[in-house]
Amino acid sequence: MNAEASAWIELKNVTKRYGTQTVLDGASVTVERGQFVAVMGRSGSGKSTLLRLIGGLEAADTGVVRVDDTDLTTLTETERARRRRHGLGFVFQSFNLIPTLTVAENVELPLALNDVAPDEIRRSRGALLAELGLANCAERFPEDISGGEQQRVAIARAVIHEPKLVLADEPTGNLDAETAQHVLELLRRTCRERNATLIVASHSAELAAQANRVLTIRAGRIEDLRS
């Protein structure tokens, strides 16, 4: 089986411009299901843009972005939102928890959006919070917990609905080295246990060392550093 035949994510000749600046210029890449992929590159090289295109947060100007046999460029915004609701988890550098929801409510948000039964939500949430060591801060608000805890909550929110794809944009950028290592391990483990594809944009060489595959973006094109 060749790479294209088993591709779960496929970008073909994708171009993305912001004003006069071309961030991706005919970029192509394929990713298989269950891989842990690190995307490296200089600031402004297009790492975050690549993640947003794969996540369907933005549309490519030209080219094809296919995930799980669906061409995202043909979907409406509402259809993309529904896909994200079911099949995507996203972890941000600055956590981006909803300040008006408690830790527990932040975590259960994707399940609630997917109309999961309240009992099931309670069970899943309880188990995951315990697994990630967040049980004791379930009823607290994001502003009342530490940065490391906030990122763990973000990871829990990204995986609770068992998405097939987790995208993380500099997930350890705001954390100290020890906490960063702990968070990364947690992210890898939770994704592996759920057989989720994990794509992480980062500058971190340590993170790249743990990935199955390392991509880099140069002059708008995606290159395989290690596969």
Partner 1 sequence: MTGLLRRASLRFYLRHPWQLGLAIAGISLGVGVYVGVSLANDSAARAFDVTAAEVRGPLTHRLLPLDDALDERSYAELVLRDGTMTAAPVVETEVGIGPRRSRRVPLLGVDPIRGATAFRMAQVAPTRGADLARLVVEPDTVLLPEDLARELGLNVGGSTTLRIGEREATVRVIGFVARSGADVAAEPPIVADIATAQELTGKLGRIDRIDLELTDEQARELGSAPPNGAVLVAAENEDSAFRELTTAFRTNLTALGLLALVVGMFLIYGTMAFAILQRTQTLGILRTLGVSRREILATILWETLGLAAIATTLGLVLGHLLAIGLVGLVLQTIGDLSFNAAVGAVEPSPWIYAQGAALGFVATLIAALKPALDAARITPAAALRRAVLERRAHAAARRAAYLALPILAASGLILAFGPSELYAAFAALFGVLAAGALLTPLATVALMGALDRVLVRRAGIPVTLAVRGVSASLSRTGVATAALAVAVATVNGVGLMIASFRASLDDWLGTTLTADIYLSAVEDDRGLADLVASGILLELPGVEGLMVTRARVVPTAQGDVAIRAVRPGVRGYGLTLVGGDNAAAFDALADGTGVIASERLLFSSRLNVGAELEVPTPSGPRGLRIVGTFRDFNTGVPAIVMSLDAYRRDWRDDQLTGVGVDLEKDADEAAVEAAVRPLVGASARLRSSARIKELSLAVFDRTFKVTEVLRVLAGIVAFLGILSALLAIELERARELSVLRTLGFTPAGLGATLLTQTGLLGLAAGLAAMPIGTVLALLLVHVINRRSFGWTMDFVLTPQALVSGVSLAVIAALLAGIYPAWRASRIELGAALRED
Interface with partner 1 (CB under 8 A): 48-49, 52, 55, 57-58, 77-78, 81-82, 84-86, 88, 90, 92-94, 96-101, 105, 108-110, 112-114, 118, 143, 157, 169-170, 173
Q: Give 48 or 124: the residue with its C-beta nearer to partner 1.
A: 48
Burial of 2 (0-12, 13-18, 19+ CB in 10 A): exposed
- Shortest Å distance, C-beta 1 to partner 1: 32
Q: Give 139 or 193: the residue with its C-beta nearer to partner 1.
A: 139
- Shortest Å distance, C-beta 54 to partner 1: 12
- Shortest Å distance, C-beta 166 to partner 1: 12
The Cα 163–Cα 35 span in angstroms is: 14
Q: Give 36 or 92: the residue with its C-beta nearer to partner 1.
A: 92
Q: Give 20 or 100: the residue with its C-beta nearer to partner 1.
A: 100
